[in-house]
């Protein structure tokens, strides 16, 4: 590892300086996160102009696929605080061990994740989804199984590069990935260049092909930074330490709460989608207009979410560096700067969502029933923007401090004990329909944000030390 720190690793001496360092690191990371979601945005826009049932089928398939994908990605993400704290402590010897451990963890996690996706049709039928959507939706989910390994491998390599403040390889890869994804969508969804028109399945195949190309591309463009650590793994002692069972279990135990937090958060949105799907099934709507409108509103909310998520990832890295150095004042500055930046960004998105919901809905589909539902849900998504931004930035700060368990408890209480029950009461008890479920999400997100802010204040005051790397 280069002994000279990257500019963004320089300790700050004031709030303004910390904010500049955070944005310098977090800006490119947020751009990469936006690029990741932009690919899904293109999928939605392409399918929204295909057949009326294509977008709802994709929405249902993605709902089933995303839960296991992000749970296992969370386990791999355990390497994020370990790597950033090692870099902050200038512990060069720990980095190759952690990289080897992360790559092995990605390989081991890919098999159970893929197996969960294969019986997708069974899960959908059990959840009472529209029978007309299940075949295409299940095909979409099953195809994702072929992309699990590159998905997890990409997440692992990103952890390493972010910890070392190397974001250019990610930026180059995400730009190329968006171009190739749009091309494959055009070819496989619409049936161009002699290929059959595959609809939702075509979008799934495009995603899988793109994931393989992107993990190869990230390794290629980031090779200068990755290669020295892989070379160190050729040494028998380093390799033995990297692949030892006890440290691997330690990393997995740190990652399981992260995966559980991802699963709980994604799970509440998945449960909302499945509940909305029952409205379509009960209304005998073969095209799933409510589910399609939900997917558009969710896609827009996901796009805005990527900016504070990028800031949260950057805050995790900067807090981890400060913890590794034992610089408690820098920890406080990093936390405060991240929370202020995340709140400001999401306030701007809130204004957009409230101001032009119909325009946003029509930008993604030309099917009038779906537009009507989406335009009703987008302002509700605007209402939870600030809460969503605060909670994801707080999670990043807590992860940098080594606390991966508190977000799990906050998600259980905020989403599953408060938000979802209230949403169900509004939707089914008071007859508010899909909008009631979305208002439940608003309440849940603000409950989670409030709880995490309280925990974060306690954790910062505790002056937590560096995690053990094993």
Per-residue pLDDT 10s for the chain (470 aa) are 343 444 445 677 788 888 888 888 888 888 888 888 888 778 877 887 777 777 778 878 888 888 889 899 989 888 888 888 888 778 888 889 999 999 999 999 999 999 999 998 888 888 777 778 888 888 989 999 999 999 999 999 998 998 888 889 999 999 999 999 999 999 998 888 888 888 888 889 999 999 999 999 999 999 999 999 999 988 988 889 889 898 888 888 888 888 888 888 888 888 888 888 888 776 665 566 788 888 889 889 988 998 998 899 889 888 888 888 888 888 899 999 999 999 999 999 999 999 999 999 988 877 888 889 999 999 999 999 999 999 999 999 998 888 888 999 999 999 999 999 999 999 999 989 899 999 999 999 999 999 999 999 999 888 766 565 55
Assign 3-state DSSP to the chain and report helix, strand, coil percentages, each to 5. 85, 0, 15
3 state SS for 320-366: HHHHHHCCHHHHHHHHHHHHHHHHHHHHHHHHHHHHCHHHHHHCCCC
**Which residues span the domain enclosing 208?**
7-462
Is 73 within a domain?
A: yes
Is 135 within a domain?
A: yes
Is 126 within a domain?
A: yes
CA distances from 329 to 6, 242, 277, 322, 461 (A): 20, 33, 49, 8, 11
CA distances from 17 to 22, 23, 224, 319, 334 (A): 9, 10, 29, 15, 10
Is 426 within a domain?
A: yes
Is 1 within a domain?
A: no
101's CB contacts (< 8 A; 6+ apart) are 79, 242, 243, 247, 248, 251, 470
What is the reported pLDDT for 411? 92
> How many domains, in total, are found in the chain?
1
Query: Model-level pTM?
Result: 0.79
Cβ 59 vs Cβ 292: under 8 Å:
yes
* Buried/exposed 175-187: b ≥16 CB within 10 Å, e otherwise: ebbbebbbebbbb
Q: How far apart are CA 439 and CA 187, in angstroms?
A: 38
Q: How many residues does the chain have?
A: 470
What is the reported pLDDT for 127? 76
Is residue 173 helix, strand or coil? helix
Is 140 within a domain?
A: yes
Is 430 within a domain?
A: yes
> CA nearest 87: which of 13, 161, 138, 14?
161
> CA nearest 30: which of 389, 313, 302?
313
CA distances from 434 to 193, 198, 266, 275, 427 (A): 40, 29, 17, 8, 6
> Which residue has 């991966």 as its token pair?
404
> CA nearest 48: which of 368, 385, 413, 274?
368
Q: How far apart are CA 177 and CA 464, in angstroms?
A: 39
> CA nearest 36: which of 141, 154, 147?
154
The encoded tokens of residue 116 equal: 């969960």
What is the reported pLDDT for 444? 94
> CA nearest 301: which of 361, 219, 362?
361
Cβ 298 vs Cβ 305: under 8 Å:
no
What is the reported pLDDT for 94? 87
Q: CA 429, 433, 439, 444: dihedral to nearest 10 degrees?
A: 70
Is 375 within a domain?
A: yes
The encoded tokens of residue 59 equal: 């929405």
């Amino acid at each position: 590892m280069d002994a000279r720190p990257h500019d963004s690793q320089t300790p700050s001496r004031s709030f303004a300086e910390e904010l500049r360092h955070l944005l310098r690191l977090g800006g490119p990371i947020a751009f990469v996160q936006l690029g990741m979601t932009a690919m899904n945005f293109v999928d939605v826009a392409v399918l929204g102009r295909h057949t009326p049932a294509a977008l709802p089928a994709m929405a249902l398939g993605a709902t089933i696929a995303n839960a296991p994908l992000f749970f296992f990605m969370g386990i791999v993400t355990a390497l994020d605080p370990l790597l950033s704290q090692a870099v902050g402590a200038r512990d060069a010897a720990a980095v190759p061990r952690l990289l080897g451990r992360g790559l092995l963890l990605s390989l081991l996690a890919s098999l159970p994740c893929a197996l969960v996706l294969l019986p997708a049709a069974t899960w959908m039928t059990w959840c009472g989804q529209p029978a007309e959507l299940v075949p295409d939706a299940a095909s979409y989910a099953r195809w994702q199984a072929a992309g699990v390994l590159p998905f997890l491998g990409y997440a692992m390599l990103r952890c390493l590069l972010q910890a070392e403040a190397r974001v250019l390889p990610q930026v180059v890869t995400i730009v190329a990935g968006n171009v190739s994804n749009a091309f494959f969508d055009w070819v496989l969804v619409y049936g161009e260049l002699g290929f059959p028109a595959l609809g939702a399945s075509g979008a799934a195949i495009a995603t899988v092909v793109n994931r393989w190309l992107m993990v190869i591309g990230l390794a290629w463009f980031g090779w200068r930074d990755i290669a020295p650590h892989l070379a160190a793994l050729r040494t028998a002692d380093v390799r033995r330490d990297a692949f030892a069972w006890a440290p691997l279990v330690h990393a997995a135990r740190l990652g399981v709460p992260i995966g559980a937090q991802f699963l709980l958060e994604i799970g509440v949105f998945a449960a909302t989608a499945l509940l909305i799907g029952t409205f379509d099934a009960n209304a005998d709507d073969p095209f799933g207009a409510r589910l399609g409108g939900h997917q558009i509103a969710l896609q827009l909310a996901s796009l805005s979410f990527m900016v504070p998520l990028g800031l949260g990832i950057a805050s995790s890295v900067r807090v981890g560096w400060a913890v590794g150095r034992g610089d408690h004042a820098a920890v406080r500055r990093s936390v405060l700067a991240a929370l202020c930046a995340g709140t400001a960004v999401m306030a701007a998105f809130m204004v957009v969502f409230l101001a032009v919901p119909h325009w946003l809905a029509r930008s993604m589909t030309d099917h009038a029933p779906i537009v009507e539902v989406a335009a009703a849900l987008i302002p509700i998504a605007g209402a939870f923007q600030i809460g969503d931004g605060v909670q994801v930035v707080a999670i990043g700060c807590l992860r940098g401090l080594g606390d991966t368990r508190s977000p799990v408890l906050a998600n259980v209480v905020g989403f599953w004990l408060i938000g979802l029950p209230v949403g169900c009461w509004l939707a089914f008890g008071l007859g508010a329909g899909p909008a009631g479920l979305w208002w439940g999400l608003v309440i849940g997100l603000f409950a989670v944000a409030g709880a995490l802010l309280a925990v974060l204040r306690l954790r910062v005051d505790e002056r937590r030390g560096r995690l053990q790397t094993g």
